[in-house]
Structure 1
Amino acid sequence: MSYTAETFNVMIASPGDVASERAIVRDVIYEWNAVNSSSRKIVLLPIGWESHSSPEMGAPPQAIINKQIVENCDLLVGVFWTRIGTATDGYASGTVEELERHIESGKPAMLYFSSQPVAMDMVDLEQVASVKKFKADCQRRGLYESYDSHADFKTKLYRQLQLKVNQHPLFYKPENSPVTELVESKTEIPELTAEARVLLKQASQDPHGIIMYLRHLNGTNVQTNGKNFVGSRDRREIAKWEHALDNLRAKGLVVERGDKGEMNELTNLGFQIADMIEL
C-alpha cells in the first residue's frame, strides 16, 4: 500500500579510509526505513558527494559540494579513523568543512571515531595526528561516539539513529508520535560451518579480502591472509574446505572472480559478518 512520507537527506561525511563504514551507514538507514517509514511517514535518504554531486565549474570543488549537497542535508553522520582528508580553504579537510558548516546551520550531526587497530607503518602519521587534534577539539564542543569494530559501529549507529529521529524536533510530527521502542538490527550471522567461519574471519584480515582456490598437480590450495588451509592431499580434508568456500558463496559473503572461481572476494556483507564472528 502506498503512503505519503516526508523525506530527510542524511549526509555521510568521511575521508577515504572508512569505505566500509560508509556502506554500513547506508545499510543502517535502509534498515531504519524498512522498519519505521510506514508508521512514522518519514523516509531517510543517504547522500554523499560521490553519488549526489554533478560536474560544475566556476568555484572550488568543496564549495560546489557545499552548495549541491551540504546545504540541502538535514542530518549529518561523520566518521573518522586514521585520515582527516585534504585541507580546504580555512578547514583541516573537506569532511571537516562539511561537518562545521552543517553544525553552523543548526542541524543535527552524529560524529563517530574508529578505535580499530591499525599498523602504524601503513598510515600517514601527520593525518593520524590531525585526526587526534580534531577529536580533542570535538570533545570540548559536544558528544561523539567511538567504536572498535565494524559490528560495534553498526550496532551503535542503528540504536542511536533511532534515538535521534525519535527525539530531535526536526523529525517530530505532532500527528505522528515518536516511536520509543528500539528495534535491534536485523542483520544476523548466517548458518556457517566451523571451517567457513575460520575462512571468513581470516579473509577479512587479508589486505585484499580475497580467498584463493587453486587446483594443481600437487594438490589443492584454499588460502587467504598468507595461510593455506589445506594441509594435505587427503581428499576428505580438501572437501571440507571446498565446502566451507561454497558455504560462503551461497550466503553471499564472497563473490567469485575469474573464469574458474580461483579468486573469491569478500562482499560488504562478508566483512560485516566477519566482524561479528568471534573465534
Structure 2
Amino acid sequence: MAQTGTIFRALVASPSDCIHERKIIPEVIATWNAVHSLSAAAIIEPVLWEMHSRPGMGSRPQEVINRQLVTNCDLVIGAFWTRLGTPTGVSESGTAEEIEHFREAGKPVLLYFSSAPVVPESLDAEQYKALTEYKKRLGQEGLYFKYETLSEFRELLQRHLAGEMIELLKQIPTTNLPTEMASSSATEQQQALTNFCADFEAFLRRLTAEWEAERDSDPHSTDDGKYIMSRAADEVLHFKSMITEDGTGVSQSLGEILKRLRTHQRHQTYIDGGVSFKTFWDEGDQLISAIREQVSKLRELSKNA
C-alpha cells in the first residue's frame, strides 16, 4: 500500500582516505530506513558526490557540487582520518567547505575523526598537519567524536543518527503527516506492532541466510562471519531502540543478545587444531537461535494485543 512520507537527504563528506567510512555510512542509513521508514513515514537518502553529482561548468568544482548537492541536503555526516583534503580556494578542503556550509545554515553536522593506526610511510605530513589544525579549531567551536575502529564508528553513527532523526522528525508539521500517522488508535498501534514483527522476521531471515551461506562455504577465516554479525548487531540495536513499552522482556533480551554479539566480534582464533575456529561458528549459531526466540515472543505479543 502506498504511503506518503518525508525524504531527508544526508550528505556523506570525507577526504579520499576514508574509503571504508563512505561504505559504512550508507549502510547505517539503510538500516535506519529498514527499521523506521514505515513507522516514521520518512526515509534518509545518502548523498555522495561520486553518485549524485553531474557535469557542470561556469564555477569552480566545489561550487558546482555545493549547488547541485550540498544546498539540497538536510544534514551532513563527515569523517576524517589522516587527510584534510584539497584546498578549494575558499576553504581548507572540499570537505571542510561542505561542513562549513551546513554550520552556517544551522543544519545538523555529525562529525567524526579516526585515530586508527596508520603506516608512517603512507602519511602525507602536510595533510596531517592541516587536519590536526582543523580538528583543533573545530574543537573550540563544536563537538565531534573520535573512534579507533570501524565497528566503533558504526556504533557511534547508529546512535547519533537515531537521535538526530528524532529531532528532525519533530520539525515535520503534524498536518503534513499521513492521517494514519497523526493519530494513535488501538488499531494503528496493533498495525505498528504487526509491522515491527514482520520487519524483525525479515531481518532474521536475511541474517540466517547470510550466516549459513558463509558458514557452509568452507571459509578460511572468520572475517566475513564477523562482518555479518556486525551488521546484525546494528539491526538489533535499532530494533531495541524502537521498543518503548515492554511487558515481554524482549527489550532486555535484545540487550543481552547485543552484548553477546559485541563479544562475538572480539573472538580470537588460534592454532589449536581448529577448535577456536569451530567455536566461533557454533557461537554464531547460538546467537541466531537466541534471536529466533524473540520472534516467538513477538508473535505471541501480537496475538494478545
Q: Does the alignment pair 1:88 with 2:88?
A: yes
Whether the 8 Å contact between 2:10 and 2:74 is mirrored in structure 1 is yes
User: Cα 1:149–1:69, aligned 2, differ >3 Å: closer, same or farther?
Assistant: same
Q: CA RMSD in A?
A: 3.6
SS of 2:160's partner is: helix
Q: Identify the residue that residue 37 of structure 2 maps to in structure 1.
A: 37
Q: Is the 8 A contact 2:12 2:47 kept in 1?
A: yes
Cα deviation code 1:109-164 (max 9, x no counterpart): 11000011111211101111111111111111111011110000001100110001
**Aligned residues of 1:84 and 1:131 also touching (Cα < 8 A):** yes
CA drift of 1:48 comes to 1.3
**Residues 166 and 172, structure 1, Cα contact 8 Å, conserved in 2:** no
- Whether contact under 8 Å (2:12, 2:76) holds in the other structure is yes
The residue number in structure 2 matching 1:243 is: 218
Q: Counterparts of 2:222 and 2:150 in 1: how far apart (Å)? A: 22
Q: Which residue in 2 is equivalent to 1:23? A: 23
Q: Deviations over 1:63-114 (max 9, x none)?
A: 1000000011101001000010000112110010010011111111110000
How many Å separate the matches in 2 of 1:252 and 1:55?
40
Aligned to 1:4: 4
Please give the secondary structure, in 2, of the residue aligned with 1:245.
coil
Q: Matched residue of 1:103: which SS? A: helix
Q: Name the counterpart of 1:113.
A: 113
Give 3-state SS (helix, strand or coil) of 1:91's partner.
Answer: coil
> How far apart, in 1, do the equivalents of 2:56 and 2:170 lie?
31
1:146 to 2:146 alignment:
yes
Q: Mark the CA change 1:16 to 1:188 in structure 2 (over 3 Å): closer, same or farther.
A: farther
Per-residue deviation, 1:246: 9.1
What does 1:182-197 correspond to in 2, within 5 Å? none
Per the alignment, in what secondary structure is the counterpart of residue 118 of structure 1? coil
Q: How does 1:28-67 map to 2 (within 5 A)?
A: 28-67=28-67
Q: Secondary structure at the match of 1:243?
A: coil
Q: Cα distance 1:247–1:101, how it changes in 2: closer, same or farther (>3 A)?
A: closer
Q: TM-score, normalised by structure 2?
A: 0.61
CA distance in 1, matches of 2:149, 2:223: 21
1:129 aligned counterpart, secondary structure: helix
Distance in 1 (alpha carbons) for counterparts of 2:29 and 2:127: 29
**Structure 1 residue runs of 4 or more that deviate by more than 6 Å after TM superposition:** 185-190, 246-249, 251-254
- Once residues 218 and 35 of structure 2 are traced to their aligned partners in structure 1, the CA distance between those partners, rounded to angstroms, is 35
> Comparing both structures, which one devotes a greater share of its residues to helix?
2
More strand by share: 1
> Residues 158 and 84 of structure 1: is their aligned pair in 2 closer, same or farther, counting only changes over 3 Å?
same
Give the structure 2 partner of residue 13 of structure 1: 13
Amino acid in structure 1 at the alignment position of 2:7: T
Q: Is the 8 A contact 1:11 1:48 kept in 2?
A: yes
Contact 1:165-1:171 at 8 Å conserved across structures: no
Match of residue 100 from structure 2:
100
Aligned residue for 2:113, secondary structure, equals: strand
CA separation of 1:173 and 1:23: change in aligned 2, threshold 3 A: farther
What letter matches 1:245 in structure 2? H
Q: Is the 8 A contact 1:7 1:43 kept in 2?
A: yes
Is this contact kept in 1: 2:21–2:150, CA < 8 A?
A: yes
Which segments of 5 or more consecutive residues in structure 1 lack a partner in the other structure? 178-184, 198-241, 255-267
Distance verdict in 2 for CA 1:246–1:93, change over 3 Å: closer
Kept after mapping to 2: 8 A contact 1:10/1:73? yes
Which secondary structure does the structure 2 equivalent of 1:113 belong to? Answer: strand
- In the alignment, which residue of structure 2 is the partner of 1:219? none
User: What number of residue pairs does the alignment pair up?
Assistant: 210
Instruction: Name the residue aligned to 2:137.
Output: 137
Deviation at 1:244, TM superposition (A): 2.6
Match of 2:76 in 1: 76
- Matched to 1:10, the amino acid is A
**Structure 1 residue 58: deviation in Å?**
1.4
Taking a change above 3 Å as real, the CA distance of residues 130 and 112 of structure 1, as seen in their structure-2 partners, is same
Instruction: Percent identity, please.
Output: 36
